[in-house]
Structure 1
């Protein structure tokens, strides 16, 4: 069966139907999505979706975008969320991946779980920044290597995605939602990056950081197009700023 004729994941009965029934009515009332280049979003097969991250509401919005484009989203999510009654059970049943704060990426259970999704031809959403950006202008900060490690180890593409508008619904670090009046969220899908130039190389820190830099550059360019602005020349590096604030370097 060809990719174009394969049945959409959203049409296959699953626990995602229950999640969509709870989430979509509220989001559709509160948010108007304007998705550019939706045809670049793979409708079948395994891939890593790599969006920018600047609001706590981002995973919900990106999950809805994925669903609207015909894919069931599976995220790496904070392990603490899985302890919440009912919600934690639904997250586990829908294949979401718990990540312990401060846990190592290399050889970790989250990466192994993501690889199992890949083996089943499913997508996995990984925020390359690892947390909400700390850049004052909400531009993507320096990325971490988990997304490219999964892509390179499994030989699958990364699809960079940028979105803008979530800060109007839930500002960074805020716990307060502003659902009305209805907000517009702009989304731009990038060309899948297959990272072919890095295959066959040792996945040492140098290779992984080089590949991650390309991914972050692609996400940033998409965001520049959405915002009609130019990002700072130098990407925000949390480690450098922590060093300046504490007067010491922490590895």
Structure 2
């Protein structure tokens, strides 16, 4: 089953040595070792299941749920026991950041420009066909409800076009450290983090991509619910915000979260139009 209970990430650090010797990877291995060193100091309590489902060679599309701003790190941890690096697709704005940008490029992640999606898709296909694992957060944004939002068929289409498997992943726990609408609590100690890897899917040409996408979402949702129900800690008084509503938490329901996302998108659109009008007026 590939189940691993890790009180401290020593075995992950050892696994990172498998690819640390690759001199073409000058940025990614040191970043990983630094992150795992921090987790050790903070006594982050990892639970990984299904690690044997990550292929040791060849391309794959790793599709994870999205509950925190730290999910890139933890979804990547899923592939560490196999000695694999994950190239995540991430919004272009992160690459424009003066600090994060050089790191993202050094780790060979893939920028996503929503106004030029074809180039991002092409870059992901090139990586997959070159034997890389490409990481996708198919919900596009963090789920405020801590359930799996509707997802698009892009991950399925990439897997079919590159003839690589889809690997569903669920993450639970990092939302306690840093999520949308909450202050960062990056130095919390003893936080359990659950990472569950599902059975690979093998979609092919001729399949109904929308149906495969529904199946993918259902599998991620099942893994996430398992992670949530089996999580070793319950929220303390005043901490129920990180628990989904269906388990008695105070996180927004999926319907409430959808409304909040819409309001945020509208506010962002209005701000962009105002900025463009201001810049245009000053030209």
Report the TM-score, using the length of structure 2 for normalisation: 0.70
Question: Which aligned pairs between 1:47-58 and structure 2 lie closer than 5 A?
Answer: 47-58=60-71
Q: Secondary structure at the match of 1:98?
A: strand
Report the TM-score, using the length of structure 1 for normalisation: 0.78
Per mean C-alpha deviation after superposition, the further-off stretch among 147-156 and 62-71 is 62-71
Q: Secondary structure at the match of 1:75?
A: strand
- Residue number among 197, 203, 206 corresponding to 1:195 in the alignment: 203
In the alignment, which residue of structure 1 is the partner of 2:13?
A: none
- How far apart, CA to CA, are the structure 2 residues paired with 1:110 and 1:81? 14
- How far apart, CA to CA, are the structure 1 residues paired with 2:19 and 2:129? 16
Does the CA contact (< 8 Å) of 1:128 and 1:144 recur in 2? Answer: yes
Question: Which aligned pairs between 1:51-90 and structure 2 lie closer than 5 A?
Answer: 51-90=64-103
Q: Secondary structure at the match of 1:192?
A: coil
Distance change in 2, residues 1:145/1:104 (3 Å): farther
**Deviation (angstroms), 1:18:** 2.5
**Deviation (angstroms), 1:223:** 1.2
- Residue number among 146, 168, 179 corresponding to 2:187 in the alignment: 179
Higher relative contact order (CA 8 A, sep 6+): 1
- How far apart, CA to CA, are the structure 1 residues paired with 2:174 and 2:261? 30
Equivalences, count: 226
- How far apart, CA to CA, are the structure 1 residues paired with 2:261 and 2:77? 38
Work out whether 1:128 is the aligned partner of 2:138: yes
Work out whether 1:212 is the aligned partner of 2:213: yes
Work out whether 1:116 is the aligned partner of 2:126: yes
1:205-236 superposed Cα distances (whole Å, 9 cap, x missing partner): xx33222111101101111222228997xx95
Structure 1: tracts of 5 or more residues without a match: 1-6, 202-206, 246-251
- How far apart, CA to CA, are the structure 1 residues paired with 2:185 and 2:85? 25
- How far apart, CA to CA, are the structure 2 residues paired with 1:243 and 1:110? 24
- How far apart, CA to CA, are the structure 2 residues paired with 1:103 and 1:231? 35
Q: Which runs of 4+ in 1 moved over 6 A?
A: 229-232, 237-240, 242-245
**Deviation (angstroms), 1:126:** 0.5
Q: Secondary structure at the match of 1:161?
A: strand
Does the CA contact (< 8 Å) of 1:47 and 1:123 recur in 2? Answer: yes
Does the CA contact (< 8 Å) of 2:67 and 2:171 recur in 1? Answer: no
1:115-149 superposed Cα distances (whole Å, 9 cap, x missing partner): 11111101000011111124x3x110110122111
The structure number with the bigger radius of gyration is: 2
Question: Which aligned pairs between 1:1-251 and structure 2 lie closer than 5 A?
Answer: 8-13=18-23, 14-15=25-26, 16-30=28-42, 31-100=44-113, 102-103=114-115, 105=117, 108-134=118-144, 136=145, 138-196=146-204, 199-201=205-207, 207-228=208-229, 236=254, 241=259
